[in-house]
Amino acid sequence: MKKLIVKSRLLDENRFTTQIADIGRELTPVIWQHERVYVPHDYREGQNLPRLITRTEVRDTNMPAIYSLHLKRHIEDSGLDWVNVTKVSDYNETSGIIHQLGFQKVAEISRQRRELMLDERTVIYLDRVEGLNEAFLKIEADLEEGEPIDALRQDLFKILEMLGQKTFVMETYANLTAHNGAAQEYLLPEQ
């Protein structure tokens, strides 16, 4: 599945939740997620190599955790992500397979997430990542076949702007935590 993702440091969480309530929508209760990020042993930024991510997710403390494996490949020149997700029944066995394939763990990310389905292909996340003292607004949208990437990116930027955001970041949460939240911020383009 092709996804386009934009992320921004949330300027005003209260304003954001009020805006969501004002349009009659509601964020989910908090979801806890823990991810382990693996890359090939010869991984280097900008080579479009895949990352494997094992995710543990708890949506309700009265229910068992959900385990999944995510294969992500970020295509640098377009900003597009290819994403495949599969459920995992044996987390330890999955980790063993990943190591046997020659991948190495480079990061662990824990976050509290709330989400809102904006439409059938777009989801907004409100993320609080352990180790970062701020909230992030992340928007993911599925790219439809034949749809121009730049048009979808402009639509996502418009959503960020409507939600009071002025900038976006391109770093992953793994990179942000590794650099204590330091990342270049880019101004949203004029609409």
pLDDT digits (tens, 9 = 90+) for 35-53: 999 999 988 888 889 999 9
Contact indicator for 68, 87 with CB cutoff of 8 Å: yes
Mean pLDDT across 64-93? 93
Q: How many domains does the chain have?
A: 1
Residue 100: CATH number of its domain: 2.40.320.10
CA dist 100 and 122 (Å) reads 35
Q: What secondary structure does DSSP assign to 134-183, as a single string?
A: SEEEEEEEEPPTT--HHHHHHHHHHHHHHTT--EEE---HHHHHHTTT--
Average pLDDT, the chain: 94
Exposed/middle/buried for residue 100 (C-beta within 10 Å: 0-12, 13-18, 19+)? exposed
In the predicted model, is pLDDT for residue 87 greater than 80? yes
From the CB of residue 165, how many other CB atoms can be counted at a distance below 10 Å? 21
Range of the domain at 106: 2-187
pLDDT in tens, 97-127: 999 999 999 999 999 999 999 999 999 999 9
pLDDT tier for residue 191 given thresholds of 50, 70 and 90:
low
173: amino acid identity, one letter? Y
Q: What is the pTM of this model?
A: 0.93
pLDDT tier for residue 4 given thresholds of 50, 70 and 90:
very high
CA dist 180 and 19 (Å) reads 29
Mean pLDDT across 161-181? 92
CA dist 28 and 48 (Å) reads 33
